[in-house]
Amino acid sequence: MNTARSHFHIKDEIRILGIDDSALISDTITIVGAFFRGGQWLDGVLRSEVTRDGMDATERISSMVRRSKHFPQIRVVMLDGVTYGGFNPVDIVRLNDETGIPFIVIMRNLPDFRKIEAALSWLPEKDERLRIIRKAGSISKVVTKEELNPVFIQCCGIDAVSAERVVKLSSTRSNIPEPLRVAHLIATGIVLGESRGKA
C-alpha cells in the first residue's frame, strides 16, 4: 500500500535526508544521514548502526530520523536501496507510517528478484525479508543528468511524479541525489579512513 501524497509542494531548498551505509567489514554496520537543503547545502549529519544481514534496519532508521533535531524540517528521506548492511531489509511503508515523512528509494540498477531470492535463501526469515523488499512497490525510471545512466526509484508517501522532481532537483553533481552521494562519502570515510566507491 502506497499512501502517496499528491500535489507535493517542492521548493528549491526542500529539506532532504539521504541515508547510506558503510562497507561490510564487521557485524555492526554504520549508517549515515546527510541532511540537505535541496541538492546544494549540507546542514547536518546523523549516525546510527544496523546489524549485518539482520532485521533491525527499519527500526534503527525510524529511531534515527525521529530523534534528530532536524526531524520537524525533513520533507523527504532518500534511501540507497531497500536493504542495508547486506540484506537487512527496510520497510518504507512502515517508516512512512511512523515518521509521517515520504520515503524515496534510489537504485542504480533494476533489482533482479531471482538473484535476491537466491541470496536470501542462506539467511533466516527469508520469506519475511522478501516480503519487506517487495512491499516497497512499483519501480520508476528517472533520467537525471545523464541519459545513459538513469536511476530507478520506489516511493511511499509521495506520488511518483513528485518523487521524480525531487530526485532531479537534488541531483546537482551526478545522476545520484546529492544527499545520498554525500552520505555515502561520509559513511565510507568514517569506517575505511577514506571515502571510496559510489552511492
Report domain extents, the chain: 15-191
CB atoms within 10 A of CB 72: 7
Beta pairing, strands 41-51 & 28-37: antiparallel
Short-list 133, 131, 103, CA closest to 19: 103
pLDDT above 80 (res 8):
no
Residue whose grid cell is 549508517: 31
pLDDT above 80 (res 198):
no
pLDDT above 50 (res 1):
no
Angle between helices 113-120 and 126-135 (to 10 degrees): 150
* Nearest-angstrom CA–CA distance, 19 and 35: 9
CB 98 within 8 A of CB 66: yes
CB 83 within 8 A of CB 133: yes
CB 76 within 8 A of CB 104: yes
pLDDT in tens, 19-74: 999 988 899 999 999 999 999 999 999 999 999 999 999 999 999 999 999 999 99
So what's the architecture of 15-191 in CATH?
2-Layer Sandwich (3.30)
Q: Point out the least confidently predicted range of 5-14, 49-58, 94-103, 131-140.
A: 5-14
pTM above 0.85, yes or no: yes
Q: Point out the least confidently predicted range of 37-51, 63-77, 112-126, 141-155.
A: 141-155
Q: What is the mean pLDDT of residues 146-163?
A: 90
